[in-house]
Amino acid sequence: MFAAVAPHPTAQEFSPNIAEAELERDVFLYTPGVSCRFHERVECPCCAPAAAIRQCLVVCDHCCRGLGVAAVEGKHTPWGVKPNTFALTV
């Protein structure tokens, strides 16, 4: 994903298959506060904006770690998930 952009010591080269698998895992599917108010109220994770946000959070997790950027709660991780306490694994 990011290995070609920054040669950070922790950078890891992902194949397209690994990157796709990471996005499909949808690790933030039931994270509160990611969906819109309607879908939060009916407890349904089938919210298109939330799906896009969840994928962005996965990319942010990998890019922050790979580029050595300090993750910020609410921007790079969902609210309530402290930066550096949630690590996605390959």
Q: Residues 32-80: pLDDT tens digits? A: 888 888 988 888 888 899 899 888 888 888 888 778 888 888 778 887 7
Alpha helices (H) in the chain, listed in sequence order = 16-25, 37-41, 48-67
pTM exceeds 0.85: no
Residue 78 belongs to some domain of the structure: no
Task: Determine, yes or no, domain membership for 79.
Answer: no
Residue 52 lies in a domain: yes
Q: Which two tokens stand for residue 59?
A: 């990319």
Report the number of distinct structural domains present in the chain.
Answer: 1
Q: Is residue 90 part of a domain?
A: no
Does 51 reside within a domain? yes
* Residue 27 domain flag: yes
Q: In sequence order, which residues have a C-beta less than 8 Å from that of residue 85 and are 6 or more positions away?
A: none
Q: What is the pLDDT of residue 12?
A: 59
Size of the chain, expressed as the number of residues it contains: 90
Handedness of CA 38, 40, 45, 47 (dihedral sign): positive
Q: How confident is the model at residue 83 (pLDDT cuts 50, 70, 90)?
A: low
